[in-house]
Copies of this chain bind each other. A is one copy, B any other.
Amino acid sequence: MKKNIIKPSILPGFMELLPNEQQIFNDIVSRITKVYEENGCLAIDTPIIEKAEVLLAKTGGETEKQVYSFQKGKNNLALRFDLTVPFARYVAQYYNELVFPFKRYQIGKVYRGERNQKGRYREFYQCDIDVIGKGKLSIDNDAWVISLASKAFKSIGLNNYRFQISNRKILKGILNELEIDKTNEVMILIDKYNKIGKEVFSKELKSLIGAEKSEYINKVLDINGTNKEIIGELLKLKIDNKDFIEGIEELNKVCYILSILGVGDEEFEINLKIIRGLDYYTGTVFETILTGNEGYGSICSGGRYDNLAENYTNNILPGVGISIGITRLFFVLKEIGFIDKYEMKNKLDYLIIPIGDTIKYCAEVMRYLQKNGKRVTVYFEEDSLKKKMNYANKIAVSDVILIGEEEVEKREVKIKNMDSGESKNLEYRLL
């Protein structure tokens, strides 16, 4: 009977890694997780499938088109497209059982049917922290969540990142004072600043709000210098607007607390062009670029919102959050050569190879090594020594333990270091 073989393949736009890279991916996730847990964030987990009416309570336009939705029985279902909406639902649902401020993290897959292109994935891991308050939430948290992103990056050995921080209230105040009613259009335009360049931006802004106001906004966006200098220049504008003043105060405080929390001056900068699209953000907003590789866009973004769960509850729940798209980040880190040089700390320590019927002693040695915190496995197959050593080479274990009858008799354990790769350079040492 000839069998019908189906070609093994996955859908386009889905990331799947070979074991070597997968171990690195998982190591990155576990280091980030460790940072979040060391800092008192509580993990939650929500279903990947939810009621469509719940997930799509707010969205519309582009996002909704990208959502994977379908029917099962009489239910309209959808796959979550981020972790924020399910979290809003979660907080509203268990409001009475949660302790606020609620510091939570969540790592999980989300789904977006994006156009297929390199480095964009339809299934990707997000790794979010959000702090939610009951009615109010200290601005210190805005700095705190960014400081955790800083710690997370450092924990994986990444150094060339820079947080670009702003506060939406500043621009909101300015636009208000200028009596500009096309707020959204201007915001969207500023959000595109880096993509379209100063020249196109200025032209489009001018046609949107006229020469005079456009010039003023350009002047604001051109402010640069140290964070202190930028704050100073903003204050010199002497705009008497509540939002504007609050925005500057908050931004100043965030910078201050960041320093206090150990985030170095070189790690962050004020960038008034940061908007974060038309998301739900209302105060602090930030993105994270890789310096020298800005073209890849933000690798970690977030901000402050006034009311997280307004679609699900009348309780006011302000919060601040950050999100790292780990699948995308991994892609970028591969592109810039970071993954090639990534140092795995959790590799297999020992491969034990029995020669002859020595399995009992092999198991004893394995137990001993594992009790001492080592990662160990035994090669069980009956193969030639050559094949066994070939396996050891391929799995990139550094130490191999060969156990023949002589070793059993003498209760010896000889460790062969594989780093040289050549058998004549064997270096035996006694355990």
Contacts and interface: CB of A to CB of B under 8 A. Distances in A.
Contacts of A54: 6, 8-10
B51 A138 contact: no
B48 A109 contact: yes
B380 A140 contact: yes
A351 B23 CA distance: 33
- The number of chain A residues touching the other chain, given as a range, is 35 or more
B75 A11 contact: yes
Given A47-B14, A77-B11, A312-B5, A376 B22 contact: no
Nearest to A359: B260
Interface string A340-363: 000000101001000000011001
Interface stretch (A87-95, A203-211, A218-226): A87-95
Interface of A: 3-11, 14, 16-19, 22-23, 25-26, 37-51, 53-54, 57, 68, 70-73, 75, 77, 89-90, 92-94, 97-99, 101-104, 109, 111, 113, 122-123, 133, 136-138, 140-141, 144, 257, 260-262, 309-314, 346, 348, 351, 359-360, 363, 367, 370, 374-378, 380-382, 391, 394-395
B381 A136 contact: yes
A49 B8 contact: no
A348 B42 CA distance: 9
A45 B15 CA distance: 9
B375 A10 contact: no
A312 B6 contact: yes
A257 B57 CA distance: 57
11 contacts: A4-B311, A5-B311, A11-B75, A18-B94, A18-B98, A22-B42, A22-B45, A23-B42, A48-B109, A68-B70, A99-B395
B138 A104 contact: no
Nearest to A7: B312
A403 to B, nearest CB: 13
A363 B260 contact: yes
Max chain B Cβ within 10 angstroms of own Cβ: one of A47, A103, A113: A47
Contact of A138 (B92, B374, B380): B380
B37 A346 contact: yes
A51 B13 CA distance: 12
Nearest to A351: B40
A376 B39 contact: yes
A22 B92 CA distance: 17
**By CB atoms of chain B within 10 A, which of A42, A49, A75 has the most?**
A49
Contacts of A314: 3, 5
Given A38-B376, A72-B68, A375-B37, A47 B3 contact: no
Contacts of A123: 47-49
Contacts of A312: 5-8
Contact of A141 (B6, B57, B94, B380): B380
A206 to B, nearest CB: 34
A106 to B, nearest CB: 10
Contacts of A102: 19
Given A11-B51, A49-B122, 4 more contacts: A10-B93, A16-B45, A19-B98, A38-B376
B10 A51 contact: yes
Give the top 8 A-B pairs by smallest Cβ distance, nearest first. Answer: A40-B377, A70-B70, A8-B93, A140-B380, A8-B312, A138-B380, A8-B92, A14-B47
A345 to B, nearest CB: 12
A49 B261 contact: no
